Chain A
Amino acid sequence: MSKPFAITLDTGSSLVNLTGSWRSKRPVFADHMPPCNIACPAGENIQQWLYHAEEGNYHLAWQEIMKHNPLPAIMGRACYHTCEGECNRAKLDETVGIHAVERFLGDLAIDNNWRVKITVPRSGKKVMVIGSGPGGLSAAYHLTLLGHAVTLFEAAPKAGGLMRYGIPRYRLPRKVLNAEVDRIERMGVEFKLNTPVRDIVGVMEDEGFDVVFAAIGAQLPRQIDIPTDDSVHMYDAIHMLRSIELEEEFPDIGDKVVIYGGGNVAVDAARSAVRLGAKEVSIVYRRSRDKMPAHSFEIKEAVEEGVELNCLRVVRKVENGNIQVEQMVLTDTNKPFPTGQMENIKADTLILALGQLVDADCCLSSVPGVGVLQGNVQVDKAMCTGNEKIFAGGDLVPCERTITVAVGHGKKAAHYIDAYLRETEYQPKPKSPTATYEKLNTWYFSDAPKTVQPILNLIRRQSGFEEVLGNLDEDNALFEARRCLSCGNCFECDNCYGACPDNAIDKLGSGKRFKVNYDYCKGCGLCATECPCGAIDIVNETI
């Protein structure tokens, strides 16, 4: 075609006009820290594994979890999912059921016998881990992945620590616990059960360990003095739970049981009492219900199972088959204040659940360099005690005592131990800024409530130790995973690619995300505004 000069032009010839020179600001793709990740004491990259899960790529999702947490099936059940407390989606409709998806993945891994590959060559170093609770198992797992030989010392007959002896079966079935412990054992971790360690230094020297990670759980009940005429049986909650697990002969708790305390162990004890056949179970707690340290959903489920709450009450004495409690009021500063008003609660058994202590003195206080303060072992940011060969974590060190924190400590310590053993320095990844709700463009996410885990009917729950919360089926798990807002991280929704009026975002293909074509980007910022997950920053151009 002979084209008339200037009037008729060849298509797409404007590509020579590099409009990028108009720009005073530029968009930059970023990976911001989702609040769930920040809130996860185990340091799971939740957003990332949900990303895989929502594609139905469960194995990859599970592997992503396993980078940080070796116990997904357990954590999906027993972790109190602080991640969900921070989930941005709660501001839109309801939090994403992260734990449920984690549990689904964990169970899938157990069902399919998924294993973790160790790719690092053996280092020849030997690590001694004390305690097979979540902290010890986590450390053992990560150290094994890092190439070290790990021996795990456990005083109890079975591995699992407080996961086994503190968490009732209806919350954590033992086959799940066993499976995940078993997976770690099959990685090559040597378990020494029924082997309490008294003399750490001695064992180290005798067996040639290069370093120690101590992760003993808080198993000692906090004691208080309650005047009693012994007309009511008194037990510690932690002993009760342990006895149930060991199927030891446990004294008849009778029909009327009072639990004293407001934490998770108190609730576990109360719900266990229901399952042991008690007719009237009540919890006495000195502050108001909303101040109970136990998780509200646990309390809710307990109440559904018939547990009564007696809040703003303090136990004063036990007399004539009655527990005498004093009513409290909350002061302006939310402190409970005694009113002098007394009540009696008829009871057969009083179970004390006033917190646990760790038995740090048992093996650590005598070790040179290790500092123990108020029952806690003092560690630095590398989880190292004053003795460079001795690291500690979990309930032993000052922290919130949860299994997730312990798993996180185990992982963190493993990295520092690895660095110590290899005489290098461990550099944790720098933390990106938080992907706050305000950074999201939630218009692109529609409302959908959290898939409710099927709850076993109350009758079944009250009469045994069957697992209370059912698992998600695959449809629901996929659905739930897909509710993730992918805060701060690109999920390849193509919005930037579509919203650019200048076609200046290049799509690189599935899994490869996008690239800004700065030759044409005019810096309007539409891509950043329309990014649903706040994964594009706009920064000033410097000339």
Chain B
Amino acid sequence: MLKQIEGSQAVAETIGLCRPEVICAYPITPQTHIVEGLGALVRKGTITNCEYINVESEFAALSVAIGASAGGARSYTATASQGLLFMAEAVYNASGLGLPIVMTIGNRAIGAPINIWNDHSDSMSMRDSGWIQLYAETNQEAMDLHIQAFRIAEEVGCPVMVCMDGFILTHAYERVDLPRQEQVDAFLPPYEPMQVLDPSDPVSIGAMVGPEAFAEVRYLAHYKQMRALERIPEISAEFRDRFGRDSGGLVHTYKTEDADTIVVALGSVNGTIKDVVDEMRLDGKTIGSLSICSFRPFPLERLREVLSPAKQIIVIEKNLAVGMGGILSANIRMALRGLVQPVTTCIAGLGGRPITKKSLHEMFEKTMADEIEDTHFLDLDWEIIRRELDREKADRRSGPIAENILKDIGKRLEE
């Protein structure tokens, strides 16, 4: 059914179609509309046989989900940013226990300075937590990924984060195709736990494991994700067969077959990138793009396959490994190890700064002309940075950086 609705609402309705049994809700921008939507659906009786629990923190939200999942219930929660960090301990715990929880991340920056806008700092902080991480390019894909996420999680025995860009997707009203309940039911069978708390067949879950077996346990977690690497494209293919559209899988490629330059990114920015690719193709540039859907497990082989024919790789990423550069590009380099193509890191869109076609276009051109240093920060206001650095040099107690910068910007506007 086609609908023109907000991304969050679309996700909420899709989650509802997945027949969740326990939903833990705690508000945090920009994810809030999802759990609000779910709350309304449960109250209205649209979602049946579901416990909707208003908890007191994100830590509790995921903890409740852990208990529910171990109790054999299909469990869901959503969070973002600080919330994800606040539940960090439980994030690792859920995956360590192999509980197939699905969690939406409405991607948002992490403070300080506090910032409610989109980037990928939050989910990137949990990239090695043992969760599968799927990044949605569009609202339609965000919806579809949730359906697939439950399937993957429950099959593999591993929790899944579906990452969708805050505001850009969560708050965007777009036309989406909402699946029918029968379609989802046919694709997603009821949850059959691999382990469950049951008085009639008791087990102890969550033992303390020492050096004698810990590495093996970790390897097995790794093995699980390697298995997921196989299942994710298969499930995506099955999804295509049933729902008639491409969603999910490991990566999406765009005009990469003959591309000398391939731009790699996660999430919604791929839409903008594709537009720029089209523009540059018109100029005769052999450029293409690649959107990674499955960041964890990371599809090293698939990426190498797509990227190795290109001469140059540009990675646009909405996060910053402070003191190092790009996280995604470091992973890409891993995929290309032994090969010689340069991989240029471009840090963009931090804290919700718009990534414009113009800026990307310029950046790609310059990179192709070898006029850009690695690591590049897109649209950085160097004047402001210089002023602040000068101030700091002059006066050790030069005041709070963010405030100073805002003052500088204000002054500039007056001028």
Contacts and interface: CB of A to CB of B under 8 A. Distances in A.
Assess A/B contact in the complex (Cβ within 8 A).
yes
Interface of A: 1-11
23 contacts: A1-B194, A1-B201, A1-B203, A3-B194, A4-B97, A4-B194, A4-B195, A4-B220, A5-B217, A5-B220, A6-B214, A6-B216, A7-B96, A7-B217, A8-B195, A8-B204, A8-B205, A8-B207, A9-B203, A9-B207, A10-B204, A11-B202, A11-B204
Contacts of A5: 213, 216-217, 220
Nearest to A2: B194
A8 B203 contact: yes
Contact of B209 (A2, A7, A11): A7
Contacts of A9: 203-204, 207
A8 B70 CA distance: 11
Contacts of B98: 4, 7
A5 B202 CA distance: 16
B195 A1 contact: yes
A7 B194 contact: no
Contacts of B195: 1-4, 8
Interface in B76-92: none
A6 B209 contact: yes
B216 to A, nearest CB: 7
Given A5-B216, A7-B97, 7 more contacts: A3-B194, A4-B98, A6-B207, A6-B216, A7-B98, A8-B204, A8-B206
A11 B195 CA distance: 14
B157 interface: yes
A15 to B, nearest CB: 13
A19 B220 CA distance: 31
Contacts of B201: 1
Chain A binding surface SS class: loop
Nearest to B221: A4
B103 interface: no
A173 B190 CA distance: 87
B213 A6 contact: yes
Contacts of B213: 5-6
A486 to B, nearest CB: 39
A531 to B, nearest CB: 33
A10 B203 contact: yes
B212 to A, nearest CB: 9
B206 A7 contact: yes
Nearest to B212: A6
Contacts of A4: 97-98, 157, 194-195, 220
Pairs A-B, 8 closest by C-beta atoms = A6-B213, A9-B204, A6-B209, A11-B202, A8-B205, A4-B98, A6-B217, A9-B207
A520 B366 CA distance: 75
Contacts of B214: 6
A11 B194 contact: no
A10 B209 CA distance: 14
Contacts of B73: none
A14 to B, nearest CB: 10
B15 to A, nearest CB: 26
A13 to B, nearest CB: 8
A11 B204 CA distance: 6
A5 to B, nearest CB: 6
A6 B220 CA distance: 11
Interface string B204-246: 1111010001101100100000000000000000000000000
A7 to B, nearest CB: 6
A89 B73 CA distance: 60
A243 B53 CA distance: 96
A10 B202 CA distance: 8
A16 to B, nearest CB: 14
